[in-house]
Structure 1
Amino acid sequence: MEQPKRNRPYAIGVIGVVHETNTFAPGKTELEAFRGDWVEGREAFVGRYRGTKTSMGGAIDAAESLGLELRPGLYTQATPSGMVTDEAFDAIANGMVDSIEQGLDGLVVILHGAMVAESYPDAEGEILRRIRGKVGPDFPLAMTLDLHANISPAMVERTDLIVAYDTYPHVDVYDRAVEAVGLLKRMLNGSVRPVQKLVHTRMLVAPQAMLTDAGAMKELMELAFELEKEPGVLNVSVAGGFPFSDVADAGMTFVVTADGDRELADRCGETLRSAAWERRERFLVRLTEPAEAVALASRHPEGPVILTESADNVGGGAPADSTHLLPHLLASPKKSLLVLCDPEAARLAAKVGIGGELRCPVGGKTDDLHGEPIPIVGRVRTLSDGNYRHIGAYMTGQYARMGLSAAVECGSVTLVLTTERVAPWDVGHVRAVGLSPEQFHIIVAKSALAWKTAFGDVSKLEIDVDTPGCCSGNLSRFRYEALKRPIYPLDSIE
């Protein structure tokens, strides 16, 4: 029964940290990696995120439309990368907890779901433990998660509401935050009593198989949407998981939230588990060797052809300097585009200047897994500070930084050399250096599927390439130590 009207609006806090941690990636993630998006307090939060199609923008708009008083605390994020140091994690987690104001009625926590710190494999679970230590076990708490979250039992036990993204590429992050705030208000006014059910499929899925516009993942999403129509079901979250975090609970999971009805949540969860298992073979990824991929792309009559090098997926924590494809591109007569993170080469290009000749090795400087430096001779065509805002469907309005960047023509290949890693989530990362994707027959996207929000509208063909790297779609390349076994397809399960 809904409670009587209040004399003041409900006050809700919003805090968060988003980091997708690749435990196979080289290096550690220090606190400095988060400083570029470190926002504290209402004025800074609203100033940065109002009008953006981000989770934060969704929280702002939903609170205003529902008559809630929004009190933001600390929010920060960093580009996906390697293991987060304990020093960085403690600073962020404790900073978030300290930023929760007194007198709140509820809290929205914006997390990723696949963050891993040196001493905390379930980083989100630990963050929630610390939050509960401050606000208490019964305080209304809603959480948003990425579709690639590895959802643990602790994450479910320490929240009242979990709302995960429904799309990959992630074009609904704003909407899911709006949904989470709306459900939290319904909980606050007593109109719903959420109970949650977590189901693990015992399936480990590569990101390339999680496209929500087609195939098996689309079918699971459609089933989830049908279940959400049942009376008493508040939300069904389908999390494909993040296979590059070697943690116990990695893999595809579902969270069903029902209104006080645990049996209903259990039944819906088992329906989804069965549906996923029936489709398990359709979640396997098929990849093409680099030489063959470039040859196929070169023969295709129309471009751009997108070569997806998911093994060097920046959005999955990879270093963005893999050179396994570069020799094959240099041997092709077709115009091609490759973005490499190489601070040394980018700074040298700036020193040479526009129109100058650049002679140096590029890429392959992080580790042996992602290739070796390739000597190039090219002409510097443009230089940029690398700052831009997203203009496409993914997090429209979000700020992005490539650092000092140079476009260098090396015969048929145009290299974009950056000082910061940048994921190809938005066409702005190409336009920021004065280029257009339509200029090229071949574009290498260091991504699994999220590149579609940058190049999906111009792509004439896409080819998934099998190169070595810390985000390979070939999961048998990885040595898992913490992952709970058995799990498909690494193990045989009846």
Structure 2
Amino acid sequence: MTLAVAGIVHETNTFAPGVSGLDRFQSEWTEGLAAFSNRYFGTRTTMGGVLTAASDLGIQLAPGLYTAATPSGIVSAEAADTLLAALVDSIDETTDGLLLIMHGAMVSEQYQDFEGECLRRLRDKLGSYFPITMTLDLHGNISPDMVRQADVIVGYDTYPHIDMYERAVEAVQLLVKTIRGEVRPATAYGHTGMLVVPQGMMTELSSMKEIMERAFAIEDDPKVLNVTVAGGFPYSDVPDAGMSFVVTVDEDRRLAERYAQELVSLALERKESFNVVYASPKKAVAEALAWPDGPVILAEGSDNVGGGAPADATHVLAELVGTGQPALVVICDPEAVKHAYQVGVGGDFAMPTGGKSDGVHGKPVALEGVVRVLFDGHYKHIGPYMTGQQAEMGKSAVVQCRKLAVILTEKRVPPWDLGHVISAGLWPEDFKIIVAKSAIAWQTAFGKFAKHAIHVDSPGCCSANLHHFDYRHVRRPIYPLDLAPEPRLGP
């Protein structure tokens, strides 16, 4: 048996500044078995899981195009069509099936449902009966079209996402069983009519934990092949944004529909519990300073790099200057990095920093300090999230501004791994306050060190307060924008 594997991964924030061009995808672009294996074999990524599962099952792989980009603003029309054409052309139609790796919340200027468009083009090439299994992020905005076009959808079960490897293995196994005729997948889809912010989706807490536990219990039914719980991505303003469920069973569609309805009802009963408590930057810093020990994490979700934000917001930075306690923040500012390199290690740094992407994420803050470290920004994930994955912050610098340490980077990199900090020669426990430009996923880097965490409410394209945004495309009514959500089942 030979399986094709390919994918395009991007979490698109339609409220983020700028347009994402093809260049955003170049840093993680592989074609062919050698490149795919060299980059991902032995990593605990989706791609690593595919490689391991194929090896264990004695299956040959025929990798086509796989590419991914850091979450950012809407993808340009030109880039979208180039990516789609390249992926479809790269699939070998003589293979026995396709494992498609995508995010589920990719949006381009012309395709609000990018994943659905990709599946439609693949069906045009491969035919209606060619087996296709798709893996998705837990933050995917799943559309009815995606469910109709894919035989099986397998989403991550954890947030922070530490099970992508296992879900890839599961997806390969289900694809193989489908090809061999051991199962005949039948799917049902349920959308809650709810937008949920990432801070409300941690799978080990509160209602999300309860929903996941019920999903796992449903999977214990011998007829059930997979239950995917998609929390959704509220910062993609598209018709199908929001929390949804896909239940896949062996043949019995009515059973799948019954389980999907049950999960939708369970989520709606608990809709208010997904709201989060947050503090203004001034109050958050004051609370952190008053906390007896550290590090205290200030989760600046409004500037969540993993959600497409620019990573240069200064609302919290401005409150930290001159506080007198050891604090750490990472700011993406290529201009400031260039200045740090010009003055060199030990040189005096003085320039307005951050707040240069737009008018929403704050104004530049005047920083004065000493350049302590200059480095290339390369590191490899050593924690539980995508272990072994390469990361690149571009040219980077550490500037010490009295008690405040600022890591300046050329590129945006989410704080998903401890390498984000230790590659700069810093250690989390040396700081009373750490600003994490993340909603929840920072826990895979700093969770074991954190003594306390505070969600910060500040302006930004990933704000936890969804009433800050002007939604124009999401299907209404939807909670919390509207008090009475309208769930829907299908496809």
TM-score range, shorter chain: over 0.9
**Letter aligned with residue 376 of structure 1:** L
- C-alpha distance in structure 2 between counterparts of 1:268 and 1:102, whole Å: 34
- Bigger mean CA offset, 170-179 vs 95-104: 95-104
Assess if the C-alpha contact under 8 Å between 2:322 and 2:402 holds in 1: no
- Whole-Å Cα distance in 2 between the matches of residues 452 and 21 of structure 1? 22
Higher mean displacement: 149-158 or 325-334? 325-334
1:69 Cα deviation after fit: 1.1
- 1:330 CA displacement: 1.2
How far 1:231 sits from its partner (Å)? 2.1
Between 98-107 and 154-163, report the one with greater CA deviation. 98-107
Q: Confirm or deny that 1:367 pairs with 2:358.
A: yes
Partners of 2:378 and 2:21 lie apart in 1 by 22
What percentage of residue pairs aligned between the two structures are identical?
Answer: 57
For structure 2, the residue ranges without an aligned partner over 5 or more in a row are 486-491
AA of the residue aligned to 1:448 = A
1:333 aligns with 2:353: no
Does residue 36 (structure 1) correspond to residue 18 (structure 2)? The answer is no
Cα contact 2:246–2:260 (8 A) shared by 1 = yes
- 2:57 is the counterpart of 1:61: no
Equivalent residue, structure 1, for 2:422 = 431
Partner of 2:395: 404
- Decide which of 138, 141, 144 is 1:147's aligned counterpart: 138
Matched, 1:348 2:348: no
Shift of the alpha carbon at 1:328? 1.3
Correspondence for 1:3:
none
Residue identity matched to 1:38: W
Q: Deviations over 1:259-298 (max 9, x none)?
A: 0001110111011011101110100121101111101100
Deviation digits for residues 76-134 of structure 1, max 9, x if unmatched? 00000000001111111111111111311100000000000000000000011111111
Q: Which residue is equivalent to 1:131?
A: 122
Q: 2:47 touches 2:165 (CA, 8 Å); kept in 1?
A: yes
2:69 is aligned, of 78, 85, 88, to: 78
- 2: distance between equivalents of 1:148 and 1:167? 10
Give the Cα–Cα distance (whole angstroms) in 2 for the partners of residues 404 and 37 of structure 1. Answer: 18
* AA aligned opposite 2:468: R
Aligned pairs for 1:228-307 within 5 A:
228-307=219-298
Match of 1:443 among 434, 437, 452: 434
- Hey, what does 1:188 align to over in structure 2? 179
Aligned counterpart for 1:387 among listed residues 341, 360, 378: 378
1:322 to 287, 291, 313: 313
CA–CA separation in structure 1 for the residues paired with 2:291 and 2:159: 27
> What is the aligned counterpart of 2:348 among 357, 369, 394?
357
Give the structure-1-normalised TM-score: 0.98
CA distance in 2, matches of 1:39, 1:231: 38
User: Which SS does the other structure have where 1:81 is aligned?
Assistant: coil
Q: Specify the SS of the correspondent of 2:434.
A: strand
Give the one of 312, 317, 326 matched to 2:303: 312
Letter in 2 for 1:135: L
Q: In structure 2, what residue type is equivalent to 1:374?
A: V
Alignment-mate amino acid for residue 380 of structure 1 = V
Q: Give the secondary structure class of the aligned counterpart of 2:36.
A: helix
Q: What letter matches 1:227 in structure 2?
A: I
Give distance in 2, aligned partners of 1:489 and 1:161: 30
SS of residue paired to 1:84 = coil
Which letter does structure 1 place at the counterpart of 2:246?
A: V
AA matched with 2:463: S
The structural deviation recorded for 1:439 is: 1.0
Candidates 463, 466, 477, aligned match of 2:468: 477
| SS of aligned partner of 1:325 | helix
> Which stretches of structure 1, 4 residues or longer, exceed 3 Å deviation after superposition?
none
Q: TM-score, normalised by structure 2?
A: 0.98
Aligned residues: 485
Q: 1:88 aligns with which of 64, 71, 79?
A: 79
Amino acid at match of 2:365: I
**What is residue 489 of structure 2 aligned with on the other side?**
none
Amino acid at match of 1:236: V
**Contact kept in structure 1, 2:104 and 2:141, CA below 8 Å:** yes
2:87 is paired with a residue whose SS is helix
Separation in structure 2 between the aligned mates of residue 331 and residue 281 of structure 1, nearest angstrom = 38
Which is further off, 324-333 or 212-221?
Answer: 324-333
Secondary structure at 2:257 match in 1: helix
User: What letter corresponds to residue 97 of structure 2 in structure 1?
Assistant: G
Q: 1:304, CA displacement in angstroms?
A: 0.4
Aligned match of 1:418: 409
For 2:111 and 2:205, how far apart are their aligned partners in 1?
35
